[in-house]
Amino acid sequence: METHKHIVRLDNVSKIYHQGKIEVRAVDALNLEIDQGDFCTLCGPSGSGKTTVLNMIGGLDIPSEGHVYLEDSNLATLGRAALSRLRRDRIGFVFQAYNLIPVMTAYENAEFVLRLQGVPEHQCRERVMKILQEVGLEELAHRRPDEMSGGQQQRVAIARAIVTNPAVVLADEPTANVDSVTADALLDLMQKLNKEDGITFLFSTHDQRVMDRARRIIHLRDGKIETDDVRTPE
Protein backbone atom coordinates (compact mmCIF):
# COMPACT_ATOMS: atom_id res chain seq x y z
CA MET A 1 0.00 0.00 0.00
CA GLU A 2 1.29 3.47 -0.92
CA THR A 3 2.01 5.71 2.04
CA HIS A 4 2.29 9.48 2.07
CA LYS A 5 4.81 11.42 4.09
CA HIS A 6 3.52 14.63 5.63
CA ILE A 7 5.92 17.48 4.90
CA VAL A 8 3.83 20.04 6.80
CA ARG A 9 1.35 19.61 9.66
CA LEU A 10 -0.64 22.27 11.48
CA ASP A 11 -2.27 21.12 14.74
CA ASN A 12 -5.04 23.37 16.02
CA VAL A 13 -3.18 26.50 14.90
CA SER A 14 -4.56 29.98 15.52
CA LYS A 15 -3.11 33.42 14.88
CA ILE A 16 -4.66 36.21 16.91
CA TYR A 17 -4.09 39.93 16.44
CA HIS A 18 -5.27 42.64 18.80
CA GLN A 19 -6.51 45.95 17.43
CA GLY A 20 -7.09 47.97 20.55
CA LYS A 21 -9.63 45.95 22.55
CA ILE A 22 -10.74 43.99 19.50
CA GLU A 23 -9.41 40.44 19.01
CA VAL A 24 -9.02 39.36 15.38
CA ARG A 25 -8.50 35.67 14.62
CA ALA A 26 -6.67 35.70 11.29
CA VAL A 27 -6.35 31.90 11.55
CA ASP A 28 -8.77 29.98 13.76
CA ALA A 29 -7.98 26.49 15.15
CA LEU A 30 -6.69 25.22 11.80
CA ASN A 31 -5.72 21.59 11.21
CA LEU A 32 -3.90 20.88 7.96
CA GLU A 33 -1.49 18.33 6.47
CA ILE A 34 0.52 18.77 3.28
CA ASP A 35 1.95 15.60 1.74
CA GLN A 36 5.28 15.16 0.01
CA GLY A 37 4.84 15.90 -3.69
CA ASP A 38 1.66 17.97 -3.28
CA PHE A 39 0.90 20.78 -5.75
CA CYS A 40 -1.53 22.61 -3.55
CA THR A 41 -3.19 26.01 -3.30
CA LEU A 42 -4.58 28.04 -0.42
CA CYS A 43 -7.27 30.28 -1.83
CA GLY A 44 -10.01 32.53 -0.50
CA PRO A 45 -10.95 36.20 -0.22
CA SER A 46 -8.65 38.87 1.16
CA GLY A 47 -8.41 38.45 4.91
CA SER A 48 -9.16 34.72 4.81
CA GLY A 49 -5.77 33.85 6.32
CA LYS A 50 -3.88 32.53 3.29
CA THR A 51 -0.67 34.50 3.68
CA THR A 52 -0.73 34.16 7.47
CA VAL A 53 -0.85 30.35 7.13
CA LEU A 54 2.01 30.44 4.64
CA ASN A 55 4.08 32.68 6.92
CA MET A 56 3.55 30.40 9.92
CA ILE A 57 4.56 27.33 7.90
CA GLY A 58 7.67 29.23 6.80
CA GLY A 59 8.56 30.22 10.35
CA LEU A 60 8.17 33.90 9.49
CA ASP A 61 5.25 34.26 11.89
CA ILE A 62 4.56 32.54 15.21
CA PRO A 63 1.18 30.93 16.00
CA SER A 64 -0.75 32.31 18.95
CA GLU A 65 -2.02 28.81 19.66
CA GLY A 66 -1.23 25.31 18.36
CA HIS A 67 1.83 23.87 16.67
CA VAL A 68 3.38 23.88 13.20
CA TYR A 69 5.53 20.94 12.13
CA LEU A 70 7.90 20.83 9.17
CA GLU A 71 9.01 17.27 8.51
CA ASP A 72 9.82 16.08 12.06
CA SER A 73 10.49 19.51 13.57
CA ASN A 74 8.06 21.36 15.81
CA LEU A 75 8.81 24.98 14.94
CA ALA A 76 7.76 26.15 18.42
CA THR A 77 10.59 24.19 20.05
CA LEU A 78 13.34 25.67 17.88
CA GLY A 79 15.54 28.52 18.97
CA ARG A 80 16.16 31.46 16.67
CA ALA A 81 19.34 30.00 15.16
CA ALA A 82 17.80 26.56 14.59
CA LEU A 83 14.71 28.10 13.00
CA SER A 84 16.89 30.19 10.70
CA ARG A 85 18.78 27.07 9.63
CA LEU A 86 15.52 25.23 8.99
CA ARG A 87 14.22 28.07 6.80
CA ARG A 88 17.55 28.23 4.98
CA ASP A 89 17.90 24.51 4.35
CA ARG A 90 14.38 23.06 4.08
CA ILE A 91 12.05 25.83 2.84
CA GLY A 92 12.08 27.63 -0.49
CA PHE A 93 10.27 30.97 -0.65
CA VAL A 94 8.83 32.57 -3.80
CA PHE A 95 7.30 36.01 -3.16
CA GLN A 96 5.12 38.09 -5.47
CA ALA A 97 7.62 40.96 -5.20
CA TYR A 98 10.53 38.59 -6.13
CA ASN A 99 12.70 39.82 -3.18
CA LEU A 100 15.92 39.51 -5.19
CA ILE A 101 19.07 41.29 -4.05
CA PRO A 102 19.35 44.15 -6.59
CA VAL A 103 23.17 44.42 -6.67
CA MET A 104 23.58 40.68 -7.36
CA THR A 105 23.34 38.89 -10.68
CA ALA A 106 20.86 36.10 -11.38
CA TYR A 107 23.66 33.62 -10.67
CA GLU A 108 24.62 35.31 -7.39
CA ASN A 109 21.00 35.52 -6.21
CA ALA A 110 20.48 31.82 -6.91
CA GLU A 111 23.83 30.97 -5.27
CA PHE A 112 23.29 33.08 -2.14
CA VAL A 113 21.67 30.45 0.10
CA LEU A 114 24.21 27.80 -0.93
CA ARG A 115 26.97 30.17 0.15
CA LEU A 116 25.25 30.63 3.51
CA GLN A 117 25.19 26.84 3.81
CA GLY A 118 28.95 26.70 3.21
CA VAL A 119 28.70 24.68 -0.01
CA PRO A 120 32.10 24.65 -1.80
CA GLU A 121 32.41 27.00 -4.78
CA HIS A 122 32.69 24.30 -7.45
CA GLN A 123 29.58 22.56 -6.12
CA CYS A 124 27.75 25.88 -6.01
CA ARG A 125 28.55 26.56 -9.63
CA GLU A 126 27.46 23.12 -10.75
CA ARG A 127 24.14 23.28 -8.90
CA VAL A 128 23.32 26.90 -9.76
CA MET A 129 24.03 26.52 -13.49
CA LYS A 130 21.96 23.32 -13.57
CA ILE A 131 19.02 25.11 -11.93
CA LEU A 132 19.35 28.23 -14.11
CA GLN A 133 19.31 25.96 -17.15
CA GLU A 134 16.24 24.22 -15.79
CA VAL A 135 14.38 27.53 -15.42
CA GLY A 136 15.56 28.77 -18.82
CA LEU A 137 17.95 31.47 -17.63
CA GLU A 138 21.36 29.98 -18.32
CA GLU A 139 22.12 32.75 -20.84
CA LEU A 140 21.09 35.50 -18.38
CA ALA A 141 23.18 34.29 -15.44
CA HIS A 142 25.22 37.51 -15.25
CA ARG A 143 22.34 39.99 -15.49
CA ARG A 144 21.14 41.92 -12.46
CA PRO A 145 17.42 42.11 -11.62
CA ASP A 146 17.02 45.58 -13.18
CA GLU A 147 18.26 44.11 -16.47
CA MET A 148 15.55 41.42 -16.53
CA SER A 149 11.80 41.34 -17.08
CA GLY A 150 9.38 40.57 -14.25
CA GLY A 151 8.95 37.02 -15.49
CA GLN A 152 12.71 36.49 -15.66
CA GLN A 153 13.13 37.86 -12.13
CA GLN A 154 10.46 35.48 -10.87
CA ARG A 155 12.33 32.60 -12.56
CA VAL A 156 15.44 33.64 -10.64
CA ALA A 157 13.34 33.61 -7.46
CA ILE A 158 12.16 30.08 -8.30
CA ALA A 159 15.75 28.99 -8.99
CA ARG A 160 16.84 30.42 -5.61
CA ALA A 161 13.95 28.63 -3.91
CA ILE A 162 14.73 25.18 -5.31
CA VAL A 163 18.54 25.17 -5.54
CA THR A 164 18.87 23.83 -1.97
CA ASN A 165 16.49 20.92 -2.64
CA PRO A 166 14.01 22.10 0.02
CA ALA A 167 11.28 20.01 1.62
CA VAL A 168 8.65 22.47 0.41
CA VAL A 169 8.39 25.61 -1.71
CA LEU A 170 6.03 28.27 -0.34
CA ALA A 171 4.83 30.60 -3.09
CA ASP A 172 2.85 33.69 -2.07
CA GLU A 173 0.93 35.04 -5.09
CA PRO A 174 3.81 34.17 -7.46
CA THR A 175 1.89 35.21 -10.61
CA ALA A 176 0.55 38.51 -9.24
CA ASN A 177 3.02 40.85 -10.92
CA VAL A 178 3.43 39.22 -14.33
CA ASP A 179 1.31 39.11 -17.49
CA SER A 180 -0.82 36.10 -18.40
CA VAL A 181 1.67 34.61 -20.87
CA THR A 182 4.48 34.83 -18.33
CA ALA A 183 2.22 33.46 -15.58
CA ASP A 184 1.40 30.41 -17.70
CA ALA A 185 5.11 29.86 -18.42
CA LEU A 186 5.97 30.09 -14.71
CA LEU A 187 3.20 27.63 -13.84
CA ASP A 188 4.42 25.26 -16.56
CA LEU A 189 7.85 25.42 -14.98
CA MET A 190 6.61 24.79 -11.44
CA GLN A 191 4.43 21.90 -12.60
CA LYS A 192 7.43 20.40 -14.36
CA LEU A 193 9.58 20.72 -11.22
CA ASN A 194 6.78 19.14 -9.18
CA LYS A 195 6.24 16.21 -11.53
CA GLU A 196 9.83 15.47 -12.54
CA ASP A 197 11.74 16.42 -9.38
CA GLY A 198 9.03 15.71 -6.80
CA ILE A 199 9.24 19.20 -5.31
CA THR A 200 6.29 20.02 -3.03
CA PHE A 201 4.59 23.35 -3.78
CA LEU A 202 2.13 25.23 -1.60
CA PHE A 203 0.66 28.41 -3.09
CA SER A 204 -1.29 31.28 -1.63
CA THR A 205 -3.26 32.75 -4.52
CA HIS A 206 -6.26 34.59 -5.91
CA ASP A 207 -5.27 33.54 -9.45
CA GLN A 208 -7.70 31.15 -11.14
CA ARG A 209 -4.86 29.98 -13.43
CA VAL A 210 -2.97 28.66 -10.41
CA MET A 211 -6.07 26.96 -9.06
CA ASP A 212 -6.70 25.32 -12.45
CA ARG A 213 -3.27 23.67 -12.24
CA ALA A 214 -3.52 22.51 -8.63
CA ARG A 215 -4.15 18.92 -7.59
CA ARG A 216 -5.52 20.11 -4.26
CA ILE A 217 -7.44 23.30 -3.51
CA ILE A 218 -7.90 24.41 0.10
CA HIS A 219 -10.43 27.23 0.38
CA LEU A 220 -10.13 29.41 3.46
CA ARG A 221 -12.70 31.77 4.90
CA ASP A 222 -12.31 33.71 8.15
CA GLY A 223 -9.23 31.70 9.06
CA LYS A 224 -10.93 28.32 8.74
CA ILE A 225 -10.92 25.64 6.04
CA GLU A 226 -14.18 25.93 4.13
CA THR A 227 -13.42 23.19 1.58
CA ASP A 228 -10.46 20.91 0.86
CA ASP A 229 -10.72 19.28 -2.57
CA VAL A 230 -8.36 16.85 -4.27
CA ARG A 231 -8.92 17.04 -8.00
CA THR A 232 -7.55 16.34 -11.45
CA PRO A 233 -6.07 19.59 -12.76
CA GLU A 234 -7.04 20.93 -16.18
Q: What ranges do the domains of the chain cover?
A: 37-59+84-230
Q: In terms of pTM, does the model score above 0.85?
A: yes
Residue 77's pLDDT is what?
92
Q: Are 138 and 129 in contact (CB under 8 A)?
A: yes
Question: Which CATH code is given to the segment(s) 37-59+84-230?
Answer: 3.40.50.300
pLDDT for 1: 36
Counting residues of the chain whose pLDDT is more than 70, the rounded percentage is: 97
- 3-class SS of residue 147: helix
Q: How many CA atoms lie within 13 A of 94 on its CB side?
A: 31
CA dihedral 192, 159, 118, 201 (to 10 degrees): -50
In this prediction, residue 4 carries a pLDDT of: 55
Q: Residue 186: its pLDDT value, please?
A: 86
pLDDT at 3: 45
Task: Please identify every stretch of the chain with a pLDDT value under 50, giving residue numbers as ranges.
Answer: 1-3
pLDDT at 153: 92
Please give the pLDDT value at position 233: 58
Query: Which H or E run contains 42?
Result: strand 39-43
Q: DSSP 3-state assignment of 44?
A: coil
